[in-house]
Structure 1
Amino acid sequence: MAELHKIIASVKDALGVGARSNSHAAAASAPVPVAQSAHRAALASTFARELETVGGKFLGILTPDEVTNRIVTLAGEIGAKTVALGQGVVSDMDAIGEALERADFRIVRTIPVADTERAAMRERVANADIGIAEADFAIASTGTLAVVSNGDRPSSLTLLPPASLVIVQIDRVMENLAAVLAELGPEGVAANRLTLITGPSRTADIEKRIVLGVHGPKSIHVIVVWPRDD
């Protein structure tokens, strides 16, 4: 725990030094304030570019009403029959699950289970054609997704199915890892399992060739949600 506090403190100190070194220049140039919506759009654009660079697929910035239809369409496009679905951070994942069921997809819902049942739940998730999860944060600078795992949203959702779909809210797209750590705080990082996902699973262990999907999803798709009233 003490080491974690030191890491967080060093990140904050580094950010603080940069801010102080630029303070005189900032005062002299008096920059025009940027609207919050414009800043969010810029972060989302950077995230999309970096996600595509590392092999992910950006499905766009959608309103909550558009998200469900896009998910159902994607499941059909990849030929999925079974969908593993966890609880959301903000999104109504139950409504998404119901829409998928109406479209004749079989749903595996992840719920907290006893230790004796955990292996069986993990196997059901692994046998799904696509796993759907909501990320706690996205990191624009690297195209990375940060997902806090718990009983409702086990890490197996984003690690085991051959395809992964991740939803993230626009106000949770952060500039860099330091911003994510600052949002979680030392206690939040220490108390939770945080998974950082940068593109599909890949390895070069086989004949020194890049192969996707050996240790995790072969494809990763991301939707950024922007509420209409935001």
Structure 2
Amino acid sequence: MSARDAIFKRLRERTDGPLTPPACDFSVVTNRGWSRAERLEHFERLITSVHGEVIHTTSDDWTRRLAEVLAAKSIKRLALGREHPVAAEAREALKASDVELVDVDRDIETWQREQFERVDAGMTSTGGGIAETGSLWLWPTPDEPRLISLVPPIHIAVLDAESVEDTFFDMIEAHGWAQGMPTNALLISGPSKTADIEQTLAYGVHGPRELVVLLRYAAAQVASA
């Protein structure tokens, strides 16, 4: 009898009844009770504390602010998707600009060198944000592969204000991960950083050196703020 079979045999032959899972108390990871304003304040304070940049805008004006970011940071080649509404809207707004829009829905082997050497920035949508940790979460797709948020020196992420949850647990609950957990979700809490033996931080060594979050509010939300 194998060790595995022996373990299962002992479990099946328990004399004190079947095993029952312990009671779980999730109160420590939820129920923060933050207002919308408090939630967004927590998110912005934490993500900017690690060199993330947050730009407030509206759903009507965000592409203009995107163009300003591209100009201010001298971004000439921007990698982005096609199908997601965020990417489609950005493409429409930038089609007459001098920024080259780089298609990312290609086999990575055909443009790997180009992505590492010639792309100035990658732009993605986000699934939402987590206030408690100042994090974004992304669910990569073939239209928005994970590398466009991990390889270019600048990552521009578009985040809707109403999609920020209090905690990681709240985010999992709100989006039903128990029923359909993503296979490749990304949690991003600032630009790439690493430290040497003396704990001196360096940014951009293993990924983007800058993270820019375009935090979008609906026009009605801004008017009532």
Q: Given the two structures, how large is their TM-score scaled by the length of structure 1? A: 0.76
Shift of 1:123: 4.0
Give the secondary-structure state (helix, strand or coil) at the position aligned to 1:149.
Answer: coil
SS state of the match for residue 190, structure 2? coil
Contact 2:86 2:158 in 1 (8 A): no
CA apart distance, 1:151: 0.4
Kindly report the root-mean-square deviation, in angstroms, between the aligned alpha carbons of the 2 structures: 2.8
Shift of 1:14: 1.5
Gaps of 5+ in 2: 1-20
User: Are residue 105 (structure 1) and residue 117 (structure 2) matched?
Assistant: no
The Cα shift of 1:153 comes to 1.1
Name the one with the larger helix percent.
1
Q: Deviations over 1:14-49 (max 9, x none)?
A: 128986xxxxxxxxxxxxxx9xxx932321122111
Which of these residues, 64, 85, 95, is aligned with residue 89 of structure 2? 95
Q: Percent identity?
A: 26
Check 1:88–1:170 CA distance in 2 against 1; reply closer, same or farther (3 A cut).
farther
CA-CA distance at 1:107 after TM superposition: 0.5
C-alpha offsets along residues 106-141 of structure 1, whole Å, 9 cap, x if unaligned?
011222x4xxx2222444443310111111011111
CA distance in 1: counterparts of 2:29 and 2:163, whole angstroms: 25
- Separation of aligned partners in 2, 1:70 and 1:18: 34
Quote how far apart the aligned CAs of 1:200 are: 0.8
Per-residue deviation, 1:155: 0.6
2: CA distance between counterparts of 1:207 and 1:58? 29
Residue 57 of structure 1 is matched in structure 2 by: 53
Structure-2 residue corresponding to 1:205? 196
Kindly indicate whether residue 174 of structure 2 is the aligned counterpart of residue 183 of structure 1. yes
Change (3 A) 1:73 1:13: same
Q: 2:134: which partner in 1?
A: 143
Structure 1 residues 68-147: aligned runs within 5 Å = 68-87=63-82, 91-111=85-105, 113=106, 117-126=107-116, 127-147=118-138
Residues 108 and 125, structure 1, Cα contact 8 Å, conserved in 2 = no
Counterpart of 2:37 in structure 1 is 41
Task: Give the 3-state SS of the residue equivalent to 2:124 in structure 1.
Answer: strand
User: Structure 1's 206 and 133: CA in aligned 2 closer, same or farther, altered over 3 A?
Assistant: farther
Equivalent-residue separation in structure 2 for 1:59 and 1:200 (angstroms)? 15
State how far apart, in whole Å, the 1-side matches of 2:114 and 2:74 are: 18
- Checking the alignment, whether the CA contact within 8 Å between 2:121 and 2:152 is kept in structure 1 is yes
In the alignment, the residues of structure 1 paired with residue 94 and residue 121 of structure 2 have an alpha-carbon distance, to the nearest angstrom, of 12
* 1:13 is the counterpart of 2:4: no
Change (3 A) 1:68 1:142: same
Unaligned runs of 5+ in 1: 1-8, 20-33
In structure 2, C-alpha distance between the alignment counterparts of 1:17 and 1:206, rounded to whole Å: 33
